């Protein structure tokens, strides 16, 4: 038992015992005792260590939610007594979470009901509006470990619903018409003409809503394509639908026969199912986040009457604002306070704190560490240094849209179709001119590329789910195609090639003795500073601790203590008393009576899988673009990169320009990045992949999100996408073969409704079966 | 022969009933979340402690 009972984290020393259980921090213990007191112990029954370590937050963190304008954004419904709010809670991850969140009413009696949508990671909470404010609900959620995310936009659900309605209608018509067409299928011709007419009219009535409503997206798409003078697959589909429906209607009303209404409805039914399959995506991930979800919703502005909270949109140039510990700098601004320590890790990937002095310009996106500061706004958020890049690349992507393989084929398809129809028309004028119309219409019907249209969504959709199981989440199926065409892979360095959670520690080792190592071990164990903790992890294995006196920690500077009459200090250069020379970020000094005896360099370590990955990627061109200087070049070379592949001091704009240059040479580029500064590059690349340590947290907008745990699978993902392309070609081959068989019937004027009714579902089902089995059979055990 | 007309109409009516039921269920949000309810049904209500 060395994990926390609540959150399952490794226990630190000393751990916190409570109620015969052990916890890693006071936060976890607090949540446990709260749940315990409210008889919600079942929380720990469904899963082992289901809890989330709560983040320590300030008590007034969510105060901004009580400003009427901001409150109105989140409240869905409100009357005299109750209000309903929907929060996005990214930390929802197991059934115990559902249990806890749906029992909020037991924790706080002013909460009336709460309901969780697990897939979307949302909770809808109804509460007594007179007894409780919105910020109190957010505080409660934060306390039990579910920090609300205010950046996510509500997913559009209307489209999905109407889609289901369309499928339902088409399925109903398909089944019903098949029912009374059954005699035809078995070759039983009923002599009773009035009954045949009756069923024919019934078919017409039932399929009318399918024609008018279920299929309308195809007409629209085909119309749009023709108007922009291009051809997509929806054009021959629409042509087929119209021919099929017109021919059938004509036959029914001239009482020549029942028409092809069963084929028609089934056709639409299969097509819609294919489309539904293609559109299934990851509801809980968000690929299109813009900068507004990264920055805070509200800002503290310093005005004449003290502090006031305003929405971020109301910020103006020249405003004075206050930013507090752990808050994000919302806009480019100059520092008014004396000094500030800022963590730019999400912007640059560098985890060491950057110190800014009074009057310095601070770019938006950094996170403040330490005492609160005062800033003067230089430019508002949507025009700041980083977000500008975001705005620029947003439009570029749309024009950069790739032409799908399917659409390329459909051009030839339509051309050949027209040719065949024309030729057979000419031939039939010599054989039997009265059948020309029948032949041409049946050619259009049977050539309708239903199976062709299904092969792409099912092949790519199955690939999408295989990749998703292995940690690569694609935005949509067209990314699979783009992935298979990649020739060039570009890595960002910090945060992508380096692992932000792993560190390497270098000691200068000049004047150390056994005793001094022990002092260092003891000193570092008492500080809460991240650098100090990393050092402690490295030295504690070899050194036992020692008893020190006169401890004193100076927050954000260092820690001191005495042993045997000597004073030891561990901390920054200024804390040690060195005059500010050019000190690298992440350097810690260890001094004895004012004299430096050890210089410790903490840098983030490169991922261990890199050399192996590079070997697997040998067929691709590889580049590294780094925002840093070239201090890491030797290490990159030792990992297997060539020095001409590495480019340093790359500004966000340079990265995007570099990729655009490569694309001009005809290369297809995949960019792997992680931070805000990669947004431009991710947007420009053919496939932009955001690498993420925690996927449900903020990721820059991208085409795909890669779980950092599966970084080493990158080369495999290319193989999977290539295989998917082969499967796609096989399926296309099959569907075209079916179309050719159908065409031979049509050209010889012998296409009966029964042939159409068999051929059409058969071809669709073959393709669906083939694509699913080929992909899942190969990768059912994972892709390694 | 008259029977088959009746049968057809009845069967169509039954199918139409299920279609309407499906449309209602969709609009009512029955297909919005296909995971949470399966977990929710497993939660037991706490037995109410009687005052002694």
The lowest-confidence range among A47-51, A233-237, A525-529 is A525-529
Distance of alpha carbon A598 from alpha carbon A621, whole angstroms: 42
Is the CB of residue B10 less than 8 Å away from at least one CB of chain A?
A: no
CB atoms within 10 A of CB A428: 20
User: Considering only CB atoms, which chain A residues are within 8 Å of B4?
Assistant: 195
Whether the per-residue pLDDT at A393 is higher than 70: the answer is no
Is the CB of residue B3 less than 8 Å away from at least one CB of chain A?
A: no
| pLDDT the model gives residue A456 | 84
User: Considering only CB atoms, which chain B residues are within 8 Å of A164?
Assistant: 26, 31
Per-residue pLDDT band at A348 (split at 50, 70, 90) = low
Is the CB of residue B42 less than 8 Å away from at least one CB of chain A?
A: yes
Measured between CA atoms, how close is A96 to chain B, in angstroms?
9
CB atoms within 10 A of CB A398: 7
Measured between CA atoms, how close is A195 to chain B, in angstroms?
8
Residue closest to A166 by CA, chosen among A303, A272, A318, A55: A272
CB atoms within 10 A of CB B9: 12
Per-residue pLDDT band at A396 (split at 50, 70, 90) = low
Whether the per-residue pLDDT at B19 is higher than 60: the answer is yes
- φ/ψ (deg, to 5) at B17: -60, -45
Q: What percent of chain B has pLDDT over 90?
A: 31
Whether the per-residue pLDDT at A551 is higher than 90: the answer is no
Is there a contact between A410 and A236 (Cβ–Cβ < 8 Å)? yes
Is the CB of residue B46 less than 8 Å away from at least one CB of chain A?
A: yes
Characterize the bridge pairing of strands A669-673 and A16-18.
unpaired
Higher pLDDT, A532 or A360: A360
Q: A14 preceded by cis ω (within 30°)?
A: yes
Domains and their CATH numbers in chain A: 1-54 (no CATH), 63-143 (3.30.70.100), 159-281+405-458+723-779 (no CATH), 292-354+366-385 (2.70.150.10), 467-499+607-722 (3.40.50.1000), 500-606 (3.40.1110.10)
Q: Which of B8, B35, B44 sits opposite A180 (nearest CB)?
A: B8
Whether the per-residue pLDDT at A430 is higher than 80: the answer is yes
Distance of alpha carbon A771 from alpha carbon A732, whole angstroms: 10
Residue A149: DSSP 8-state: B
Higher pLDDT, A456 or A201: A201
Measured between CA atoms, how close is B52 to chain A, in angstroms?
18
Size of interface A-B (CB pairs under 8 A): 63
Nearest CA in chain A to B13: A176
Per-residue pLDDT band at A190 (split at 50, 70, 90) = low
Q: Which of A12-16, A344-348, A405-409, A522-526 has the highest mean pLDDT?
A: A522-526
Residue A61: DSSP 8-state: T
CB atoms within 10 A of CB A714: 21
Is the CB of residue B44 less than 8 Å away from at least one CB of chain A?
A: yes
Whether the per-residue pLDDT at A158 is higher than 70: the answer is no
For residue A19, count CB atoms less than 10 angstroms from its CB and return exposed for 0-12, middle for 13-18, buried for 19 or more.
Answer: exposed
| pLDDT the model gives residue A398 | 47
Per-residue pLDDT band at A57 (split at 50, 70, 90) = low
Residue closest to A590 by CA, chosen among A582, A581, A580, A578: A578
| pLDDT the model gives residue A400 | 44
| pLDDT the model gives residue B29 | 82
Characterize the bridge pairing of strands A111-117 and A298-303.
unpaired
Q: In the predicted model, what is the mean pLDDT of residues A462-474?
A: 88
Please, what is the average pLDDT of chain A? 82
Is there a contact between A620 and A490 (Cβ–Cβ < 8 Å)? no
Report in angstroms the alpha-carbon separations of A710 from A8, A239, A275, A607, A705. 22, 45, 29, 11, 11
| pLDDT the model gives residue A29 | 82
- Are residues A169 and B42, on separate chains, in Cβ contact within 8 Å? no
| pLDDT the model gives residue B48 | 54
- Are residues B44 and A175, on separate chains, in Cβ contact within 8 Å? no
User: Considering only CB atoms, which chain B residues are within 8 Å of A42?
Assistant: 43-44
| pLDDT the model gives residue A399 | 43
Higher pLDDT, A530 or A366: A366
Distance of alpha carbon A544 from alpha carbon A519, whole angstroms: 9
| pLDDT the model gives residue B14 | 94
Distance of alpha carbon A144 from alpha carbon A54, whole angstroms: 6
pLDDT tens digit string along B26-49? 888 888 777 888 888 877 765 555
Higher pLDDT, A291 or A464: A464
Distance of alpha carbon A74 from alpha carbon A151, whole angstroms: 11
Q: Which of B16, B31, B44 sits opposite A164 (nearest CB)?
A: B31
Structure tokens at A622: 């590889």
Per-residue pLDDT band at A397 (split at 50, 70, 90) = low
Distance of alpha carbon A216 from alpha carbon A245, whole angstroms: 13
| pLDDT the model gives residue A721 | 92
- φ/ψ (deg, to 5) at A673: -145, 180
Q: Which of B1, B11, B36 sits opposite A192 (nearest CB)?
A: B1
Per-residue pLDDT band at A232 (split at 50, 70, 90) = confident
Q: Which residue has the tokens 């840093």?
A: A628
Higher pLDDT, A158 or A619: A619
Per-residue pLDDT band at A508 (split at 50, 70, 90) = confident
Measured between CA atoms, how close is B43 to chain A, in angstroms?
7
Is there a contact between A5 and A49 (Cβ–Cβ < 8 Å)? yes
CB atoms within 10 A of CB A745: 17
Distance of alpha carbon A704 from alpha carbon A14, whole angstroms: 41
Q: Which of A53-57, A153-157, A642-646 has the highest mean pLDDT?
A: A642-646
CA angle (A5, A11, A13) in 5-degree steps: 135
Q: In the predicted model, what is the mean pLDDT of residues A225-254?
A: 87
Is the CB of residue B14 less than 8 Å away from at least one CB of chain A?
A: no
Q: What percent of chain A has pLDDT over 70?
A: 91
Q: In the predicted model, what is the mean pLDDT of residues A204-216?
A: 94
Predicted TM-score of the model (pTM): 0.78
| pLDDT the model gives residue A571 | 83
Size (chain A), residues: 784
Residue A762 CB partners (closer than 8 Å, separation 6+): A738
| pLDDT the model gives residue B52 | 37
Residue closest to A356 by CA, chosen among A677, A347, A366: A366
Q: In the predicted model, what is the mean pLDDT of residues A1-22?
A: 76
Report in angstroms the alpha-carbon separations of A170 from A176, A211, A564. 10, 9, 87
pLDDT tens digit string along A287-323? 766 676 777 778 888 888 778 888 888 888 888 888 8
Measured between CA atoms, how close is A169 to chain B, in angstroms?
7
Distance of alpha carbon A178 from alpha carbon A756, whole angstroms: 13
Distance of alpha carbon A124 from alpha carbon A86, whole angstroms: 4
- Are residues B23 and A175, on separate chains, in Cβ contact within 8 Å? no
CB atoms within 10 A of CB A379: 16
User: Considering only CB atoms, which chain A residues are within 8 Å of B40?
Assistant: 98, 102
CB atoms within 10 A of CB A218: 22
| pLDDT the model gives residue B45 | 66
User: Considering only CB atoms, which chain B residues are within 8 Å of A176?
Assistant: 11-12, 15
Q: Which of B11, B23, B36 sits opposite A116 (nearest CB)?
A: B36
Is the CB of residue B16 less than 8 Å away from at least one CB of chain A?
A: yes
Residue A13: DSSP 8-state: S
For residue A179, count CB atoms less than 10 angstroms from its CB and return exposed for 0-12, middle for 13-18, buried for 19 or more.
Answer: middle
């Amino acid at each position: 038992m060395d994990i926390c009972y609540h959150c399952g984290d490794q226990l630190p020393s000393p751990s916190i015992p409570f109620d015969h259980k052990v916890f890693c921090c006071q936060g976890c213990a607090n949540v446990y005792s709260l749940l315990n007191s409210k008889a919600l112990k079942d929380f720990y029954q469904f899963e082992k260590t289901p809890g989330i370590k709560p983040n320590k937050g300030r008590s007034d963190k969510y105060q901004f939610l009580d400003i009427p304008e901001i409150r109105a954004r989140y409240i869905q419904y409100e009357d005299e007594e109750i209000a309903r709010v929907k929060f996005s809670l990214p930390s929802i991850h197991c059934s115990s979470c559902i249990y806890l969140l749906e029992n909020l009413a037991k924790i706080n009696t002013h909460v009336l009901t709460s309901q969780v949508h697990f897939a979307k990671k949302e909770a809808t909470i109804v509460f007594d509006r007179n007894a409780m404010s919105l910020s109190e609900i957010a505080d409660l959620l934060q306390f039990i470990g579910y920090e609300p995310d205010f950046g996510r936009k509500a997913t559009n659900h209307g489209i999905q619903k109407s889609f289901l309605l369309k499928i339902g209608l088409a399925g109903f018509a398909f089944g019903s018409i098949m029912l009374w067409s059954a005699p035809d299928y078995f070759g039983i011709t009923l002599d009773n003409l009035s009954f045949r007419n009756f069923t024919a009219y019934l078919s017409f009535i039932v399929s009318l809503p399918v024609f008018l409503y279920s299929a309308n997206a195809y007409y629209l798409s085909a119309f749009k394509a023709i108007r922009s003078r291009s051809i997509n697959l929806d054009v021959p589909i629409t042509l087929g639908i119209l021919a099929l429906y017109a021919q059938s209607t004509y036959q029914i009303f001239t009482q020549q026969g029942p028409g092809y209404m069963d084929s028609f409805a089934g056709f639409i039914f299969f097509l819609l199912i294919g489309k539904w399959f293609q559109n299934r995506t990851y509801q809980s991930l968000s690929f299109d986040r813009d900068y507004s979800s990264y920055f805070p919703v509200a800002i503290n502005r310093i005005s004449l009457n003290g502090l006031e909270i305003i929405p971020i949109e109301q910020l103006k140039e020249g405003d004075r604002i206050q930013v507090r510990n752990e808050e994000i700098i919302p806009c480019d601004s100059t520092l008014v306070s004396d000094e500030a320590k800022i963590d730019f890790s999400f912007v640059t990937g560098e985890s060491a704190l950057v110190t800014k002095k009074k009057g310095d310009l601070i770019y938006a996106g950094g996170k403040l560490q330490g005492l609160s500061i005062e800033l003067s706004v230089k430019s508002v958020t949507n025009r700041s240094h980083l977000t500008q890049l975001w705005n620029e690349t947003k439009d570029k992507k749309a024009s950069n849209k790739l032409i799908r393989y399917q659409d390329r084929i459909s051009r030839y398809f339509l051309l050949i179709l027209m040719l065949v129809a024309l030729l057979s028309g000419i031939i039939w004028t010599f054989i039997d001119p009265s059948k020309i119309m029948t032949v041409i219409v049946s050619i259009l019907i049977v050539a309708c590329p239903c199976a062709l249209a299904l092969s792409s969504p099912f092949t790519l959709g199955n690939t999408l789910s295989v990749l998703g199981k292995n940690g690569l989440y694609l935005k949509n199926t067209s990314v699979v195609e783009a992935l298979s065409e990649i020739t060039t892979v570009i890595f960002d360095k910090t945060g992508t090639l380096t692992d932000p959670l792993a560190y390497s520690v270098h000691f200068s080792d000049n004047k150390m003795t056994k005793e001094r190592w022990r002092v260092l071990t003891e000193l570092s164990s008492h500080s809460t500073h991240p650098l100090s903790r990393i050092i402690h992890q490295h030295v504690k294995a070899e050194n036992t601790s020692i008893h020190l006196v006169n401890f004193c920690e100076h927050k954000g500077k260092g820690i001191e203590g005495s042993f045997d009459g000597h004073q030891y200090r561990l901390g920054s250069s200024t804390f040690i008393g060195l005059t500010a020379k050019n000190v690298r970020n992440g350097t810690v000094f260890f001094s004895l009576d004012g004299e430096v005896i050890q210089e410790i360099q903490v840098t983030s370590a490169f991922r261990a899988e890199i050399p192996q990955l590079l070997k697997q990627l040998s067929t691709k061109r590889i580049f590294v673009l780094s925002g840093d200087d070239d201090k890491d070049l030797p290490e990159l070379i030792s990992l297997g990169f060539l020095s001409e592949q590495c480019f340093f001091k790359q500004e966000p704009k340079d990265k995007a320009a570099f990729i655009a240059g490569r694309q001009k040479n005809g290369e297809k580029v995949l960019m792997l990045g992680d931070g805000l500064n990669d947004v431009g590059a991710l947007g420009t690349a053919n496939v932009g992949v955001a690498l993420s340590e925690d996927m449900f947290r903020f990721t820059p907008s991208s085409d795909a999100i890669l779980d950092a745990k599966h970084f080493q699978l990158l080369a495999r993902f290319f193989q999977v996408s290539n295989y998917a392309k082969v499967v796609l070609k096989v399926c296309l081959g099959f569907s075209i073969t079916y179309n050719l068989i159908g065409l031979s019937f049509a050209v010889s004027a012998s296409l009966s409704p029964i042939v159409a009714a068999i051929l059409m579902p058969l071809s669709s089902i073959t393709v669906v079966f083939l694509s699913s089995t080929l992909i899942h059979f190969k990768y059912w055990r994972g892709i390694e | 022969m008259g029977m088959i007309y009746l049968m057809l109409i009845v069967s169509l009516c039954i199918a139409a009933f299920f279609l309407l039921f499906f449309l209602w269920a969709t609009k009512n949000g029955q297909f919005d979340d296909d995971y949470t309810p399966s977990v929710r049904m497993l939660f037991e209500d706490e037995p109410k402690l009687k005052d002694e």
